[in-house]
Structures are given as C-alpha cells and as structure tokens.
Amino acid sequence: DERGGIMELLGVASDRGAPLLVGSLLVAVAIFILMLLRPDGRHGRLPPSPMALPFIGHLHLIRPPPHRAFDRIIARHGPLVYLRLGPSAHCVIIGSAGVAHDVLKFEGSIPERPLTAVTRHLAYDSVGFAFAPYGPHWRFMKRLCMSELLGPRTIEQLRPVRAAELAGVLRVATAASAKGETLDMSRQLIRMSNNAIMRMVATDLPGDMADAARDCAKQVAELVGAFNLEDYVPLCRGWDLQGLGRRTRGVHAKFDALLETMIKNKGKERREVADKANAKDLLDILMDAAADPTAEVKLTRDSIKAFVLDIFTAGSDTTATTVEWMMAELLNHPHCLQKLRTELDAVVGRSRLVGEPDVAQMPYLQAVLKETLRLRPPAVFAQREAMQPIHVRGYTIPVKTSVFFNIFTIGRDATWWEEPLEFRPERFMPGGAGEDVDPKGQHLQLMPFGSGRRACPGMGLAMQAVPAFLAALVQCFDWEVPNPPLDMEDEAGLVSARKQPLVLLPMQRLHPLPLP
C-alpha cells in the first residue's frame, strides 16, 4: 500500500545515507566539543579566528619559525587574532602598534609571563626574575636590576670586560686577514658575547667554565624555543614523548653545578678580599643583596642562580644575533656601509678604536641599529598571560589566555613604515619617518625590547654595547662575502638567528690595528 511504499522508500534512503548521517553526527559532536573548549568570552566576542581542527585547534598552522606563522595568520585575519593551540590552550596574537597600544592600556591585567614545562624547571620554579609572578619579589628584582645590576654605573664599571672580549675577536680577524682565510663570524660573535656576559657576572671566571656555560646556554635557548606537546595537550603531560623533559633535566643539572661552583668561588674570594667596593661584578651585587638584613625581600641561593641563568640566556645570544644581522644587512647594502664608514672616520678617525662612549655621537650608527632591530628583532615576540578579561576593539580576551605581541610583524607594519621590508637606516635620520622613534618601548611601532613593566631591563646595555661592537668591526676591517649573495633566512628558536653561519673574508683596513 501507499504507507508501506513510503516506509520502504525511507528505509532505502536511510541505508544509502548512513555514511552521510554518521559523518554529520561526528561533525556535530566535534563542533559541540570545540564550543565547550572555546574560552568563555564573558559576554563579549572573541577576536577573529582561522578555521580550527578538532582536538589540535590551530596547531597545524604554526609551522616553524612561529613568528612567521603568526605573521601569515595576521596578514589574512587582521592585527588581533584568536588561536586555540591544542585542546585547551588559548591565545591571541597582536600584529600592529595600534592594537598593542590598546591592549597595553590594560597592562595590569596581563602582568605575567606564562610558564611552560621547560621554563618552570629551568627557572627554579620562577624564583628568578624573567618568569617570576608579578608581586613583591618581582618588584624587588626589577628595582635591583634598574638601579644596580644593569644600571648605568654598573654598565660603565664593567665596560673594560666587554672591550677585552671585543679585542679578542679583532685579533682573531687580524690573524685570518694575514693568512687570507675566511672567518666564521657567527661563531666568533657568540663566543664574544657569551664570554662578555659571563665575565660581567663573575669577573674572574676561568676559561673552561665560560666554555661550559656557553654550551649550556645554547641548549637552554634551544629547549625554551622548542615546541613542547606537554604545554598544549594535557594527555601528553608526564610522558616526555619528545625527550625534552630529559634534556631539560640534564642541562639544568649541568648549569646548576656550574652556578654552584661560581657562587662558592665568589664566596671564597669575598672572604679573602674584604674591600670589593671598586670592582663589583653582578654576582657581587646579588650576594650583597642576599646578605642585606634590611632588604624587603630575602634572596635565596636559588634566586641568585635563577637570575644569573636569566641574564646569561637573555643577553648573550641576542647580542651576537643583532651584531650578526647588522653586518649582513650592511654587506647587502654597500652604500649604507660606506655612510657608516664616513661617519666613523669623521667622528673617531683612524688612530684609535671606536668605543661605547662614541655611540652617542654617531647618529647613522644608531640608525643602522634601529633599522636592524625593526627588521630583525632578536626576540621576535613577547608573551604575557591575561589574569583578567580584557575588552579591546569590540572583542574580549578571556582570563588565562596567552597574549603574543608579534614584534616581528609590528616592526614591518606598512601603516607606520614606508617600504617596510626594505633596509633603510635613513628612515631614522633627521627628516625620516622614524626620526623621533625610540626602541625602548615608548613607541610601539618599534618595540624590540618589549614594552611596559615586563620590558627587557638590559636594553640600556644593548643600545650601548651592540653598536660599539659592530662599529669596531667596520672600522678595522673590510669584509668580503666569499660566495655571494648572503643567505638571509632565519631559523626557528627563542632568538631569531641566521639559519646559515656568517662566513666572511676579513681584510685589515687599519694598520696597525688600534687596540687599547
């Protein structure tokens, strides 16, 4: 009959549509799960977001290096984008100075850096400075940094340490020039900057300890910059599927043993030499603070070790990387190199070596540094964590959301910079668009050191030492690229270094070399 025919027809349709029905049901379940995992916007809209996949969210979009993946996402979806990394890790990425300015109005709501599985272990459970939670301990360490550890007086007092390490590189380059041999400048610069930082920390550090510290710091940078499943997929926690936990424990143990030796040697030295007032290094200042009975915060041994680890890993690779990128950009732009040489000859001459005090009198040198920091920031993004909801530009950034300021993208924002991908130091000279732009965090279109309360406390040292290192290399030598053109690709990692070593042929320009 008619009813039976209809039921038969429905049955046939059901059989034929079974795979479609099952697929639709799975999609509906996946969407329901995603809605549950998507953070509560607190009655506000979340920022725009790419299409997410079940379970992994947007992890498939984050191909290394992550700052370039962020850059591609921002180019497509706008300067404020929401991402879900794994089942339950939520973040927003910021890719313009305007949005950064609007978000930093609520800086009190994003006062902390999120701890990863690796950084928690390496940072002695956040008792140092870089990853310490915002509170009395962090504020005390910040004041200590700005007034003592990285203040102008200490930077000036330890200038001979940096000068001695630079002189070592110049001697190696002189020997290579005499033999007509190429020089791996990447290797020389990282050795120089690491040694300089370690000897600023502990002046009388033996050479073998400096070498061991350099190896540990390299591994720390690799581990902190590595993608770790445990941070994004809760089911992976405790399994150490990538072996990062084992590597982290091994590096931490080596660094801890090294730091213990440094502290013991320093303690013995301080007992034997009572008056250190005129020759204090960073470890002296930290141990003085720990021994001060009136200090508002009592520094522990772990606090001292964590801070030394912070300053070493933050200050060594970044210095070398910036000098290296400056050299590479100048070699790719010979007219800029010639302008810098002309300024060097006019301000310093050829009878003495350029030094840190000369930097203030050399505007083009400073422009070269700023342009390099704009195009090639050593720290390509700054990360915070929202402790309160933030309502910005009609969207809501929920609690417990990681906030990435993609410094790499912000520095290339065409809203602020004409021909943003071109290396043009002149933009920072009088009459240029960046004439009054300062890279210390007040002008967010150029924020290589971050901005606000979590800005890098070592920016004063960097702005003084880095251009002086570069200027001495340019003053004393001509540099030739053996196999042009230079490969300008960057590699993935905590610090955006060159992917290929910078191998150059030095040719001595000044005879004799004006070493101090």
Cα distance between residue 401 and residue 406, in whole Å: 15
Residue 456 annotated as lining a ligand binding site: yes
**Residue 325 CB contacts under 8 Å (≥ 6 apart), including other chains:** 372, 375, 376, 498
397 - beta bridge partners?
390
Rounded to whole angstroms, what are the CA distances from 373 to 424, 427, 444?
12, 13, 13
Instruction: Give CA 83 to chain center in angstroms.
Output: 21
Q: Is 335 left (phi over 0), alpha (psi -120 to 50) or beta?
A: alpha
Mapped onto helix, strand or coil, the DSSP state of residue 390 is strand
Compute the residue count for the chain. 516
End-to-end CA distance of the chain: 109
Residue 333 near residue 485, CB atoms below 8 Å: no
503 - beta bridge partners?
184
Rounded to whole angstroms, what are the CA distances from 27 to 17, 23, 35, 50, 57?
15, 6, 12, 17, 14
Cα distance between residue 174 and residue 194, in whole Å: 21
Of 376, 379, 465, 377, which is closest to residue 197 (Cα–Cα)? 465
CA angle 184, 189, 195 (to 5 degrees): 130
Strand order in the sheet with 80-85: 80-85, 89-94, 402-405, 382-385
Residue type, 349: G
Mapped onto helix, strand or coil, the DSSP state of residue 194 is helix
Number of C-alpha atoms within 13 angstroms, CB side, residue 427? 21
Residue 473 near residue 467, CB atoms below 8 Å: no
CA angle 448, 453, 459 (to 5 degrees): 40
385 - beta bridge partners?
112, 402
Each as own residue / partner, the long-range contacts of residues 312-315 (CB below 8 Å, 24 or more positions apart, any chain) are 312/194, 312/197, 312/198, 312/201, 312/213, 312/217, 313/217, 313/220, 313/221, 313/224, 314/130, 314/456, 314/458, 315/193, 315/197, 315/458, 315/461, 315/462
The continuous run of DSSP H or E covering 404 comes out as strand 402-405
Cα distance between residue 344 and residue 503, in whole Å: 24
Annotated binding site, which residues? 456
Annotated binding site for heme, which residues? 456
